[in-house]
Amino acid sequence: MTFSVAVSGASGYAGGEILRLLAAHPDIEIRTVTAHSNAGQPLVQHQPHLRSLAHLTLQDTTPEILSGHDIVFLALPHGQSGQYTDALGDAPLVIDAGADHRLTSQEAWDAFYGGGFHEPWTYGVPELTVDGVKQREYLRGATRIAAPGCNASTVSLSLAPGVAAGVVDPGDIVSVLAVGPSGAGKSLKPHLLGSELLGTANPYAVGGTHRHIPEIRQALAAAGGVAGDGIRISFTPVLVPMARGILATSTAPIAPGASDADIRDAWQQAYGDETFVQLLPEGHFPRTADVLGANTALIGLAIDRAANRVTVVTAVDNLVKGTAGAAVQSMNIALGLPEDRALTVNGVAP
Amino acid sequence: MTFSVAVSGASGYAGGEILRLLAAHPDIEIRTVTAHSNAGQPLVQHQPHLRSLAHLTLQDTTPEILSGHDIVFLALPHGQSGQYTDALGDAPLVIDAGADHRLTSQEAWDAFYGGGFHEPWTYGVPELTVDGVKQREYLRGATRIAAPGCNASTVSLSLAPGVAAGVVDPGDIVSVLAVGPSGAGKSLKPHLLGSELLGTANPYAVGGTHRHIPEIRQALAAAGGVAGDGIRISFTPVLVPMARGILATSTAPIAPGASDADIRDAWQQAYGDETFVQLLPEGHFPRTADVLGANTALIGLAIDRAANRVTVVTAVDNLVKGTAGAAVQSMNIALGLPEDRALTVNGVAP
Amino acid sequence: MTFSVAVSGASGYAGGEILRLLAAHPDIEIRTVTAHSNAGQPLVQHQPHLRSLAHLTLQDTTPEILSGHDIVFLALPHGQSGQYTDALGDAPLVIDAGADHRLTSQEAWDAFYGGGFHEPWTYGVPELTVDGVKQREYLRGATRIAAPGCNASTVSLSLAPGVAAGVVDPGDIVSVLAVGPSGAGKSLKPHLLGSELLGTANPYAVGGTHRHIPEIRQALAAAGGVAGDGIRISFTPVLVPMARGILATSTAPIAPGASDADIRDAWQQAYGDETFVQLLPEGHFPRTADVLGANTALIGLAIDRAANRVTVVTAVDNLVKGTAGAAVQSMNIALGLPEDRALTVNGVAP
Amino acid sequence: MTFSVAVSGASGYAGGEILRLLAAHPDIEIRTVTAHSNAGQPLVQHQPHLRSLAHLTLQDTTPEILSGHDIVFLALPHGQSGQYTDALGDAPLVIDAGADHRLTSQEAWDAFYGGGFHEPWTYGVPELTVDGVKQREYLRGATRIAAPGCNASTVSLSLAPGVAAGVVDPGDIVSVLAVGPSGAGKSLKPHLLGSELLGTANPYAVGGTHRHIPEIRQALAAAGGVAGDGIRISFTPVLVPMARGILATSTAPIAPGASDADIRDAWQQAYGDETFVQLLPEGHFPRTADVLGANTALIGLAIDRAANRVTVVTAVDNLVKGTAGAAVQSMNIALGLPEDRALTVNGVAP
């Protein structure tokens, strides 16, 4: 059986990456691609790397055009999905790469996003746990899926095992991320110009204002059975000169009494059977190049007794495991397909 | 009066940067440049950007050749300065860009470096304080100066004011640094190849093993009048694709009772009169591009009450304020010259 | 049927890329990987992005270890393949990614490489023509294949249609290539360090000394039915700060009487039916990002009557279509498999 | 004596670089900085690297505000200078960094720019010759100066000596340039986004459409005493991932009978006494890093008898020798100051 797909936001980075992955998916027919101001133009004009989709033309993003497909992907700016999701009421499967359906707390939504609040959908990070059950289980047969924020899922995957096992203190997390600009989308903002990014490291959203913070707190609280306000995180992203990639360095205090073995075991237990989230051997740490184009999150773990902190370094391709790969992996699960279909664990390096 | 200078390690990155700065210094005559395996070759073959020094030839690095100058700069790999400094006993001014004369604690030296321990020299970061007195005062008339480690001085400058004022808790510092590879020198190591660094973020020395950690603890302890073991730091450097630059994100818990005004005032008081260390206005944070080629450390400060942490983001050019600029600034002070001679506060951007 | 494979030079860039492609090939079992100084170590230590091959250990590169496989890939430094190929006399299929079996002229070999000359093997660029027949036809059932030089095949593919059709003059070609450093391999040479490559453009082999020049002349002569000395090319590669990719700008004089339609038709005819070599519409030109990780050569063509030259801009991933992809594509053809198996036309962008 | 200066376009890249250089100029007082939409804002908000100018506020760009200074720099988009220059009739010295006053031929202007044609001003490349006289001589005492196009001056300096000496044929020049995006200004265009430029090489203006072509033809015709239509050039710029820098590879046919000595002598004679344009020794070629932040054009020359072409590789910092440095150097000459004041020959590397 082949599933028909429509992708909105197809001229952007997240939409383009969903298309790149789906183009190699044997069970998927990409039938419709939509955009806003670029509607009417060939897709390949905006995604010149997607040669196998050169026959597609961007259509308008309307509920009518998106309807009638087995699967609809929404890759729209935050705050725009909601207006479509209501009108897609009878679509068999809708996957939103935006933030609109991620948060369970309206208070958090109002504080970090604002605008209309929308009901939370099943969260598209299969390897995280909620109440001790892998998110994967909730995704089976799901019809509405919220793909994660790229920084959020990277940090959540980094620390969830330790929080769940109680070997780290979730009350004083510090995360600093080296990130590529593609996570910010194809936005015409001065600080995203190449001249401003080449050869320089640029911090942004310093001091607790980044919108992915409530998403991390929500995921870690769910993983750890902790109240949301028990999770505190200092979160600083830094733009660095690579088009894509996230390298998240996250630390949390070692819980009293936790042995080195306890700590490593927490991550090993959580991810030992996972394909796309892998704990590296002791003393090894990942580079973003290792996961370029891959759906893999690679995790290196150090126990720093002098600082009394666990340091977790995680590499993710923000557009794959951080966004589009998470969406396709979740889709595979929802549809009952092999979870790794059209996804690779191998990065493109050097 | 013109001071004659010899620079060892002149074919490397630190040596090259010392030469770049001195070449524009009106009171300095660069008389001698030395190297090891490259001795006998024209300097410009190894430093093709130093056009004004095209007449110089690299000589052997021996005490005899280095002697007889008013000032000797040592830009040698760690552990190599010591063998020369003994033999330069009568040199009027020696400035070591290596680590050999930085640490006051032999225990720390043994733990992080090993090999012979050498006496500590006056530390070349004029804006730090020791016992409430700016390091600048100790540098006046100094004859032996240890230029700082680039990462170390960046983190020390980031947090010293808060530690000294008691507005942050120095017992749980977390620093993550985006750094360019030139800080590692011109070493032929696989992980420093361009193919391994372009388009990727690479962590190293994760988990408390970086050699700059004891240097930071020493500087912050001195600034804060704290015992060395009262300073605990989780320190993670990440190589990112820029030839030079350090962007250090450092956080420390807010001390109980410290108001926002107390906190900002600590940094403002410490650096308000400084030329080369500048606190940016509230809400502003620096990029490494802003300090490229400049001797400036730019500091942005955020107070994150939700995380109960102060976040300090500091940008430094590792080869200038981090190494060679600190050396020249210290030299200026030692010689009684204007502190900013041959140094600029303006970066080369974009 | 599954074919067993051995890959030598598996710890290098070309070997790693062959493995990345073969890891996704359903008809291939990667049985043996070999190296020199790294033998005995896990493959993944040197290719940390190849997570699906984490079970493999590097063995010694000896004829004995390489023998007994259906297919042997040699990804060795130039001049080293020959010593193995003699000893692999009975191997069903050997594909050499090095230069040793590319040139038909010993004179050219001696002038540009030196050392022992080896017999030419079937050249692994299926889309080029020899005597009016696509190279693809010679590859069917071939047992010894020479994968191309990355710069050479890029330039040859750029100009061969025009030379074959007689619409450009092959006697005064000028090619300038922006290239990433991975084409130079994982060599510990100072000019390949990240600090030397980040933020700068570095020319090398200027003035007609690059070893790919005779390979281009050979291919264009074969395509055009021209004597080798009828092909003259000014060839300048420039290292730019991207890990992989070639953007070749090649120009040749317009042949007297050639109309614009004649010119475009030459390329359209040559590549209109090709999957992996594509002529872009008029006015469009490729970026290397468009082919990152893909086996595609994208070609943009401009006719500059004011300069009386045709300008061809071609983008290739040096490690894929330039090397490993060409090898796998040729292998597919030789084995009678679908030519595009395990290869993609879609790049990873942005 | 101190000269008062106004700089328009001060929030852009060219304006910022003029300010960076002038900030270190002992004879200049930067009194006024102007912009358009950014008027009213602190300069340092748009040029955060210019710490020494943190006291300046951007004013409106009007003739009234620009008037009354000893020197006015115009760093405006092409086609906008003209409206101001008429109104600045009595200003002692006006230097235009835009194209409006560069071309002597209205026909060329109409073909490549369009809009109102303006009278040509003295061209700000002191090292070029017109009728056998260095441009420097025309600049002495000049009151209206047109700073060059960055690509144009780079190519013109590359080839002018050979054209003037008759050792190369100017009728079939081919130039391919690796350029950083800062040359395109701080424009919010999709293809200038960091995500589109990082890790990729992007050609533009392929096929003879770049606006710097007539400027090159004009300069080479003037240098060589050749009619403008005797200069033909195939010109292709390629954006590569570095914020600034131009590496121009230019080739021209060797003139019949020209010996190797004749050829090298042509460049040696032309530039042997120049400070800012330097011919490298035989076999040496420049990198853009060697001139970063410097006013130097470094030239490497190869004679390729097999291709019958001279290849000239020239490195320039597009914002310094390509624009702002050329403007300041020309200003120094016009005012009778030392030509190298506030300019350096040494690049910032690595």
Judged against a pLDDT cut of 90, whether residue D328 lies above it is answered with: yes
Q: What's the confidence (pLDDT) of residue B79?
A: 85
D188 counts as catalytic: no
CA angle C28, C32, C36 (to 5 degrees): 140
Instruction: Determine the Cα–Cα distance for residues A253 and D201; give it in Å rounded to an integer.
Output: 44
Asked if the Cβ–Cβ distance from A208 to B302 is below 8 Å, we say yes
Judged against a pLDDT cut of 90, whether residue B192 lies above it is answered with: yes
If one counts every other C-beta atom within 10 angstroms of the C-beta of residue A185, the result is 18
Judged against a pLDDT cut of 90, whether residue D302 lies above it is answered with: yes
CATH code that applies to domain D151-318: 3.30.360.10
Asked if the Cβ–Cβ distance from D198 to A13 is below 8 Å, we say no
Residue C35's alpha-carbon distances to A148, C24, C57, C147, C224, in angstroms, are: 41, 22, 10, 19, 39
Q: What's the confidence (pLDDT) of residue D227?
A: 84
- The CATH classification of domain B151-320, taken from the options 3.90.550.10, 3.30.360.10, 3.40.50.2300, 3.40.50.920: 3.30.360.10
Which residue of chain B comes nearest to D182, CA vs CA? B350
Is residue C138 packed enough to be buried (19+ CB in 10 Å), middle (13-18) or exposed (0-12)?
buried
Which tokens in the block code for residue B267?
């940094």
Mean pLDDT across the stretch A251-256?
Answer: 98
Asked if the Cβ–Cβ distance from B349 to D52 is below 8 Å, we say no
pLDDT classification of D183: cutoffs 50, 70, 90 = very high
Spell out which chain D residues touch chain B, with contact meaning CB-CB distance below 8 angstroms.
Answer: 13, 16, 20, 23-24, 47-53, 182, 198-199, 243-244, 278, 284, 286-287, 289-294, 296, 298, 344-350
- For residue C63, say if its preceding peptide bond is cis, omega within 30 degrees of 0: no
Which residue of chain C comes nearest to B193, CA vs CA? C193
Cα of B187 to nearest chain C Cα, Å: 8
If one counts every other C-beta atom within 10 angstroms of the C-beta of residue B341, the result is 17
Under 8 Å between Cβ of C127 and C135: yes
Most distant pair of Cα atoms in chain D: their distance: 62
Under 8 Å between Cβ of D328 and D25: yes
User: Which residues have CB under 8 Å from D343's CB, separation 6+?
Assistant: D21, D276, D294, D295, D320, D325, D328, D329, D332
Cα of D308 to nearest chain A Cα, Å: 37
Instruction: Determine the Cα–Cα distance for residues B155 and B219; give it in Å rounded to an integer.
Output: 10
Interface test with A, best of C25, C46, C49 (most A CBs within 10 A): C49
What top-level class would CATH report for the domain B3-147+323-335?
alpha beta
Under 8 Å between Cβ of C322 and C154: yes
Asked if the Cβ–Cβ distance from D208 to C174 is below 8 Å, we say no
Nearest CA-CA partner of B350 in D179, D187, A199: A199
The minimal CB distance from D251 to the residues C174, C292, C304 is found for C174
Nearest CA-CA partner of B175 in A304, D170, C98: A304
Cα of D201 to nearest chain B Cα, Å: 13
Cα of C196 to nearest chain B Cα, Å: 8
Under 8 Å between Cβ of D135 and D125: yes
Torsion angle of C-alpha atoms A185, A191, A194, A195, degrees rounded to 10: 180
Instruction: Determine the Cα–Cα distance for residues A154 and A175; give it in Å rounded to an integer.
Output: 10
Read off the pLDDT of residues A50-63 as tens digits, 9 standing for 90 and up: 999 999 999 999 99
Which residue of chain C comes nearest to D176, CA vs CA? C176
Q: Phi and psi (nearest 5°) for D325? A: -65, -40
Which residue of chain B comes nearest to A300, CA vs CA? B206
CA end-to-end distance (rounded Å), chain C: 37
Cα of D17 to nearest chain B Cα, Å: 8
Spell out which chain C residues touch chain A, with contact meaning CB-CB distance below 8 angstroms.
Answer: 13, 16, 20, 23-24, 47-53, 182, 198-199, 243-244, 278, 284, 286-287, 289-294, 296, 298, 344-350
Asked if the Cβ–Cβ distance from B242 to C199 is below 8 Å, we say yes
Q: What's the confidence (pLDDT) of residue B344?
A: 98
Which tokens in the block code for residue A20?
């790149």
Under 8 Å between Cβ of D185 and D36: no
The proportion of chain D whose per-residue pLDDT surpasses 90, expressed as a percent, equals 93
Spell out which chain C residues touch chain B, with contact meaning CB-CB distance below 8 angstroms.
Answer: 13, 180-182, 186, 188-190, 192-200, 239, 241-244
Interface test with C, best of D200, D232, D240, D303 (most C CBs within 10 A): D200
Asked if the Cβ–Cβ distance from A288 to B201 is below 8 Å, we say yes
The minimal CB distance from C307 to the residues D232, D253, D302 is found for D232
Sketch the domain layout of chain D as residue ranges. 3-147+321-335, 151-318
The minimal CB distance from C285 to the residues D206, D245, D288 is found for D206
Nearest CA-CA partner of D158 in D309, D350, D14, D15: D309
pLDDT classification of A225: cutoffs 50, 70, 90 = confident
Asked if the Cβ–Cβ distance from A289 to C49 is below 8 Å, we say yes
Chains that touch B (3 or more CB pairs under 8 A): A, C, D
Q: What ipTM does the predicted assembly reach?
A: 0.97
Cα of A111 to nearest chain C Cα, Å: 31
Residues from chain D that touch A181, judged by Cβ atoms under 8 A, are 193-195, 198
* Residue numbers of A annotated as active site: 150
Q: What's the confidence (pLDDT) of residue A296?
A: 98
Cα of A161 to nearest chain D Cα, Å: 33
Under 8 Å between Cβ of D246 and D212: no
Instruction: Determine the Cα–Cα distance for residues A88 and A72; give it in Å rounded to an integer.
Output: 9
Read off the pLDDT of residues A82-141 as tens digits, 9 standing for 90 and up: 889 888 988 999 999 999 999 999 999 999 999 899 999 999 999 999 999 999 999 999
Asked if the Cβ–Cβ distance from B23 to D346 is below 8 Å, we say yes
Helices (H), chain D: 13-22, 43-46, 63-66, 81-85, 106-112, 135-139, 150-165, 194-197, 213-224, 260-271, 325-335
Q: What is the number of alpha carbons within 13 Å of residue D199 lying toward its C-beta?
A: 35
Question: Which of these is catalytic: C56, C145, C150, C178?
Answer: C150
Instruction: Determine the Cα–Cα distance for residues C67 and C89; give it in Å rounded to an integer.
Output: 9
Q: Which of C79-83, D277-281, D303-307 has the lowest mean pLDDT?
A: C79-83
Same CATH topology for B3-147+323-335 and B151-320: the answer is no
Judged against a pLDDT cut of 90, whether residue A208 lies above it is answered with: yes
Helices (H), chain B: 13-22, 43-46, 63-66, 81-85, 106-112, 135-139, 150-165, 194-197, 213-224, 260-271, 325-335
pLDDT classification of B1: cutoffs 50, 70, 90 = confident
User: Which residues have CB under 8 Å from C226's CB, separation 6+?
Assistant: C163, C170, C220
User: Which residues have CB under 8 Å from A214's CB, separation 6+?
Assistant: A103, A105, A108, A109, A111, A112
Instruction: Determine the Cα–Cα distance for residues D115 and D131; give it in Å rounded to an integer.
Output: 30
Which residue of chain C comes nearest to A45, CA vs CA? C284
* Sign of the torsion formed by the C-alpha atoms of B273, B277, B282 and B284: positive
Judged against a pLDDT cut of 80, whether residue D225 lies above it is answered with: yes
Q: Phi and psi (nearest 5°) for D70? A: -70, -35
Q: Which long-range CB contacts under 8 A does A204-207 form with residues at least 24 apart?
A: A204/A237, A204/A238, A204/A239, A204/B285, A205/A235, A205/A236, A205/A237, A206/A236, A206/B249, A206/B285, A206/B300, A206/B302, A206/B311, A206/B313, A207/B302, A207/B303, A207/B304, A207/B311
Judged against a pLDDT cut of 90, whether residue C206 lies above it is answered with: yes
Read off the pLDDT of residues B275-289 as tens digits, 9 standing for 90 and up: 999 999 999 999 999
Instruction: Determine the Cα–Cα distance for residues B115 and B103; give it in Å rounded to an integer.
Output: 13
Asked if the Cβ–Cβ distance from D207 to C178 is below 8 Å, we say no
CA end-to-end distance (rounded Å), chain B: 37
Instruction: Determine the Cα–Cα distance for residues C169 and D290; give it in Å rounded to an integer.
Output: 37
Instruction: Determine the Cα–Cα distance for residues A327 and A346; give it in Å rounded to an integer.
Output: 18
CA angle B13, B18, B24 (to 5 degrees): 130
Under 8 Å between Cβ of B151 and B177: yes
* Sign of the torsion formed by the C-alpha atoms of A32, A34, A40 and A46: negative
Q: What's the confidence (pLDDT) of residue D85?
A: 87
Asked if the Cβ–Cβ distance from B243 to D350 is below 8 Å, we say yes
Average pLDDT, chain C: 97
Read off the pLDDT of residues C74-96 as tens digits, 9 standing for 90 and up: 999 888 888 898 889 889 999 99
Instruction: Determine the Cα–Cα distance for residues B47 and B45; give it in Å rounded to an integer.
Output: 6
The minimal CB distance from D347 to the residues B49, B198, B278 is found for B49
Read off the pLDDT of residues C153-205 as tens digits, 9 standing for 90 and up: 999 999 999 999 999 999 999 999 999 999 999 999 999 999 999 999 999 99
pLDDT classification of C129: cutoffs 50, 70, 90 = very high
Read off the pLDDT of residues C6-31 as tens digits, 9 standing for 90 and up: 999 999 999 999 999 999 999 999 99
Q: Count the helices and strands in chain D (H runs, E runs).
A: 11, 16
Please report the number of interchain residue pairs, chain A to chain D, with beta-carbon separation below 8 angstroms: 72
CA angle D82, D87, D88 (to 5 degrees): 95
Under 8 Å between Cβ of B331 and B340: no
- DSSP3 helix / strand / coil % (chain B, rounded to 5): 35, 25, 45
Please report the number of interchain residue pairs, chain C to chain D, with beta-carbon separation below 8 angstroms: 178
CA end-to-end distance (rounded Å), chain D: 37
Nearest CA-CA partner of D349 in B244, B288, C201, B343: B244
Instruction: Determine the Cα–Cα distance for residues D45 and D54; give it in Å rounded to an integer.
Output: 9
Judged against a pLDDT cut of 90, whether residue D89 lies above it is answered with: no
Read off the pLDDT of residues A14-51 as tens digits, 9 standing for 90 and up: 999 999 999 999 999 999 999 999 999 999 999 999 99
Question: Which of these is catalytic: D35, D103, D150, D173?
Answer: D150
Instruction: Determine the Cα–Cα distance for residues D138 and D117; give it in Å rounded to an integer.
Output: 22
DSSP track, D181-229: GGGG-S---GGGBHHHHTT--EE-STTTT-TTHHHHHHHHHHHHT--GG
Q: Fill in the DSSP letter of residue A280.
A: P
Question: Which of these is catalytic: B72, B150, B165, B223?
Answer: B150
Q: What's the confidence (pLDDT) of residue A120?
A: 97
Nearest CA-CA partner of A135 in A335, A329, A337: A329
Residues from chain B that touch A308, judged by Cβ atoms under 8 A, are 172, 232
Interface test with B, best of A151, A195, A200 (most B CBs within 10 A): A200
Judged against a pLDDT cut of 80, whether residue C228 lies above it is answered with: no
Residue C164's alpha-carbon distances to B232, C170, C219, in angstroms, are: 71, 10, 11
Under 8 Å between Cβ of C32 and A330: no
The minimal CB distance from C243 to the residues B13, B180, B198 is found for B198
Asked if the Cβ–Cβ distance from C346 to A293 is below 8 Å, we say no
Nearest CA-CA partner of A330 in A97, A89, A147: A147
Which residue of chain C comes nearest to A341, CA vs CA? C24
Average pLDDT, chain D: 97
Judged against a pLDDT cut of 80, whether residue B125 lies above it is answered with: yes
Instruction: Determine the Cα–Cα distance for residues D329 and D320; give it in Å rounded to an integer.
Output: 10
Read off the pLDDT of residues C268-314 as tens digits, 9 standing for 90 and up: 999 999 999 999 999 999 999 999 999 999 999 999 999 999 999 99
Check whether domain D3-147+321-335 has CATH 3.40.50.720, yes or no = yes
Mean pLDDT across the stretch D245-270?
Answer: 98
Which tokens in the block code for residue C306?
């004011």
What is the model's pTM? Answer: 0.98
Average pLDDT, chain B: 97
Asked if the Cβ–Cβ distance from D292 to B49 is below 8 Å, we say yes
Q: CA C331 from chain center: how many Å?
A: 14
Residues from chain B that touch D344, judged by Cβ atoms under 8 A, are 24, 52
Q: Which of A243-257, C77-91, D246-260 has the lowest mean pLDDT?
A: C77-91
Q: What's the confidence (pLDDT) of residue A257?
A: 97
Q: Tell the residue number behind the tokens 């008013």, with chain if given.
A: B70
**Amino acid making up residue A148:** P
Read off the pLDDT of residues D20-76 as tens digits, 9 standing for 90 and up: 999 999 999 999 999 999 999 999 999 999 999 999 999 999 999 999 999 999 999
Most distant pair of Cα atoms in chain B: their distance: 62
Q: Phi and psi (nearest 5°) for A343? A: -120, 150
Under 8 Å between Cβ of A186 and D186: no
Asked if the Cβ–Cβ distance from A241 to D194 is below 8 Å, we say yes
